[in-house]
Amino acid sequence: MRAASGYPLMPEWLYWRAQATPGRLALIAGGRRLSFAELAAEADRMARRLAALGLEPGDRLATLLPNGLEAAVVPHAVSRLGLVLVPLNVRLAPSELAWQLADCGARWLLAAPGTLDLARGALEELAGCRLVTTEPLEPGVPSLVELPEAKAPLRREVDLGQVHTIVYTSGTTGRPKGALLTYGNHWWSALGSAMNLGALPSDCWLVCLPLFHVGGLSILFRSVISGFAALVHERFDPVAVNQAIDAEGVTLLSVVSTMLQRMLEARGERAYPSTLRCVLLGGGPAPRPLLETCARLGLPVAQTYGLTETASQVATLAPEDALRKLGSAGRPLYPNRVRIVTEEGEEARPGEVGEILVRGPIVTPGYLNRPEATAAAVRDGWLRTGDLGYLDEEGYLYVVDRREDLVVSGGENVYPAEVEAALLAHPAVAEAVVVGVPDPEWGQRVVAAVRLVAGATVSAGELHAWCRQRLAGYKVPKEIRIVAELPRNATGKLLRRAVRGWWEPGA
């Protein structure tokens, strides 16, 4: 029962679940309703078709899929075949995707009708990675529907120490890093969630977050491990979400603040049904007025703090503490631990703000091809999140701010360093500062200030177009100011706060 890695071998989750509760509802996606037996059959078929491409255990399969049936099945097909899934963000620019595809060494990129052009763009100058589509789209490009089912051996067991997923996360260095997530990371994440929020055979968890982020992906693992249904929406539509809660038996829901805000706006003051037992609210500290509105409407919000590097939830406020600990992200999920360390490297006292550190089986073993970044992030088993927060007297976590330089816009993380690098690549730009400023709809929006090279001329509009070529839309600064001088302190250090103040007087 022990694998080569020293971790125990365990029955593959969907394979097991399809035998344990074959007839139970598993997935609603792409207009279809699948039982666990049907979902397992879909996953097996997809695994055998991927095998027909020559994909073998350990190979990396990149996907560029909007939410839908294929995006919900492929994580299980990957488990059955022993591949490593690299779910790419469909909002990235072709050059960003090309970089990630090259970094992970993917041999195949799976695209859908809606992402075909983007995939083509990403693969244009990339040797060694080929295109496969979900359905027949172009002659000469294989499609899953048409591929034969190879007689590949499918796995009945998984090794908790093996990597299942590589999820790219941007970083302060300007280049995204591929966080490795093992079967064990996903297993413990699902277990910790069930031990906190509970799980029932009759539960139905609505997925309106992208399945290429851990916030969405992790719901699929919870579904097969605990044995309840996942309802996948193709995109976030507040009216459709409200409708699913009212009429389709949704009991759990994962959202970020801006989504919740829009749901409430679309609905007015009409109460939600009591069948909705938990709204898991992630993506950064929630505005207090929003939490108070939810409390007033009786909406059971469980605020959570999670990271790509921890396969989603680190800490989540248990439903019954929603009012007593309003604004807290709760306590760490079993059996993980959270510490706060001050700037001086000392253990913070209760109430004292410092960096949030996480330890436990949800923590990534590291970043692909980044031994130094891994060593810097995970020391003695403790993940340094870079985020700021404190623990109260009872050990409840309050996240004060994501790491100082991080911008969270509509639930997507934007690292200023990456946007600054794109601006600096323009020959006319001498210096660039990117910051996030408060935005009523998206939480924060990205803005930039640049100083030009002496004698150069370029308009803000031209720089905007330049960025659009190189960056995902949500990373492109909504406003770019061209200034004569950037604010610095006496020692010459750039004052980001002062830049932010240009948009946010009084901050």
Stretch that binds its own copies, among 21-29, 63-71, 265-273, 489-497 (CB under 8 A): 21-29
Min CB(133)–its own copies separation in Å = 35
Binding of its own copies by 227 (CB under 8 A): yes
The Cα 315–Cα 197 span in angstroms is 11
Min CB(195)–its own copies separation in Å = 6
> By CB neighbour count within 10 A (0-12 exposed, 13-18 middle, 19+ buried), where does 290 fall?
middle
For its own copies, the closer of residues 10 and 341 by Cβ is 10
Stretch that binds its own copies, among 48-56, 194-202, 413-421, 462-470 (CB under 8 A): 194-202
Interface with its own copies (CB under 8 A), residue from 60, 177, 331, 496? 331
For its own copies, the closer of residues 10 and 498 by Cβ is 10
Min CB(483)–its own copies separation in Å = 50
> By CB neighbour count within 10 A (0-12 exposed, 13-18 middle, 19+ buried), where does 269 fall?
exposed
Two tokens at 215? 């916030």
The Cα 264–Cα 238 span in angstroms is 8
Binding to its own copies (CB under 8 A) within 164-193 occurs at 191
Phi, psi of 397 (to 5 degrees): -85, 135
Give the full edge-to-edge strand order of the sheet including 60-64. 130-133, 108-111, 60-64, 84-87, 163-169, 177-182, 366-367
Binding of its own copies by 11 (CB under 8 A): yes
The DSSP output letter for 285 is: P
For its own copies, the closer of residues 200 and 453 by Cβ is 200
User: How many residues are recorded in the chain?
Assistant: 507
Min CB(323)–its own copies separation in Å = 11
Number of residues binding to its own copies, judged by CB under 8 A? 37
Q: Classify 93 as helix, strand or coil.
A: coil
Binding of its own copies by 150 (CB under 8 A): no
For its own copies, the closer of residues 182 and 261 by Cβ is 182
Binding of its own copies by 203 (CB under 8 A): yes
Min CB(159)–its own copies separation in Å = 13
Binding of its own copies by 1 (CB under 8 A): yes
For its own copies, the closer of residues 24 and 339 by Cβ is 24
| CB neighbours of residue 31 within 10 Å | 7
Q: Classify 184 as helix, strand or coil.
A: helix
Contact call for residues 68 and 87 (beta carbons, < 8 A)? no
Interface with its own copies (CB under 8 A), residue from 130, 173, 334, 502? 334
Min CB(16)–its own copies separation in Å = 6
The Cα 319–Cα 302 span in angstroms is 6
Assess whether the previous peptide bond of 57 is cis (omega < 30° from 0).
no
The Cα 419–Cα 473 span in angstroms is 11
Binding of its own copies by 321 (CB under 8 A): yes
Binding of its own copies by 362 (CB under 8 A): no
Binding of its own copies by 195 (CB under 8 A): yes
Tell how far CA 71 is from the center of its chain. Answer: 14
Min CB(277)–its own copies separation in Å = 8
**Binding stretches for its own copies (CB under 8 A):** 1, 10-11, 16, 19-24, 191, 194-203, 225-228, 318-321, 324, 331, 334-335, 361, 381, 394-395
